[in-house]
Amino acid sequence: MEDINFVLTGLIFLVALLYSSVGHAGASGYLAAMALAGIAPDVMKPTALTLNILVACIATVQFYRAGCFSMRIFWPFAITSIPFAFLGGFIVLPGTLYKQILGIVLLFVVYRMLSSTEITPSLKKQIPLSIALACGAGIGLLSGLIGVGGGIFLSPLLLLMGWAGIKEQAGVAAAFIFVNSVAGMFGHVIAMKTFPSVLPYWIIASAVGGIMGSRLGSRQLGNRTLRRCLAVVLVVAVVKLWLV
């Protein structure tokens, strides 16, 4: 068991390092790592949210200092995502259903990681308020249900629709993940309190990785190989989730 925890701590560090470099906090990676280690579903969600809060906070500060944040883009999505993330965190899904939904989300993340072409924003367009509010609510609810911050959904949406530039979406995604993770955690704490005893070690690992990754920020890291390795881990985690 100690060996598993040691490996899991290392994976959490790598996930935080990679994700924070692009403004994300790594919840999908943490969930995949915990799935591989056989962590119970009722422990996975609050643990991922806890690590998300820390890493997203670090990333938000770093990207904000670098001038990569836009309140104009952030608020219409966040205003509805926060209450719905709280609602999602309050809802406790049956273990089987949770694994199925998480598996689908992880496969989407794999697709994004292995995509041969990155989404590049077109000319910045005005964000329709009604669409932003609806998208924020949907992403917030899903985030709270499975224990992620929602950045993996918001970032490609902002870029694909031409609503934000590369640097802006990274800063907005980091802040979006932070507020959703906090809201989801509050919902979970009210519903039930389940945390692993080794969580402090994972917090330290994610904090170190988050600081290193977010400082690197928008630089070219040459991390394509690392992304592919992480994608393989996610696929294996999905298989384990659906077959065990």
DSSP string, 100-158: HHHHHHHHHHHHHHH-SS-----S--PPPHHHHHHHHHHHHHHHHHHT--SHHHHHHHH
Q: 213: which residues sit within 8 A by CB, 6+ positions away?
A: 16, 17, 18, 19, 20, 21, 59
Q: Is the pLDDT at 217 greater than 70, yes or no?
A: no
Q: In this structure, are residues 27 and 52 in contact, taking their beta carbons and an 8 Å threshold?
A: yes
Q: In this structure, are residues 93 and 151 in contact, taking their beta carbons and an 8 Å threshold?
A: no
Residue 80 pLDDT class (50, 70, 90 cuts): very high
Mean pLDDT on 97-116: 81
Is residue 165 helix, strand or coil?
A: coil
- Between 139 and 63, where is the model more confident? 139
Q: Name the DSSP class of 46.
A: H
Q: Is the pLDDT at 218 greater than 50, yes or no?
A: no
The pLDDT score that the predictor gives to residue 112 is 74
Q: 71: which residues sit within 8 A by CB, 6+ positions away?
A: none
Q: Is the pLDDT at 244 greater than 60, yes or no?
A: no
The pLDDT score that the predictor gives to residue 181 is 93
Average pLDDT, the chain: 82
- Between 131 and 59, where is the model more confident? 131
The pLDDT score that the predictor gives to residue 122 is 53
Q: What share of the chain is helix, strand, coil (3-state, %, to 5)?
A: 75, 0, 25
- Between 172 and 18, where is the model more confident? 172
- Which two tokens mark 46? 């609050």
Q: Name the DSSP class of 220.
A: -
The pLDDT score that the predictor gives to residue 224 is 62
User: What is the distance between the alpha carbons of residues 78 and 161, in angstroms, rounded to a whole number?
Assistant: 17
- How many of the other CB atoms lie within 10 Å of CB of 2? 7
The pLDDT score that the predictor gives to residue 84 is 96
The pLDDT score that the predictor gives to residue 222 is 46
* DSSP run (H or E) holding 234: helix 224-243
The pLDDT score that the predictor gives to residue 179 is 96
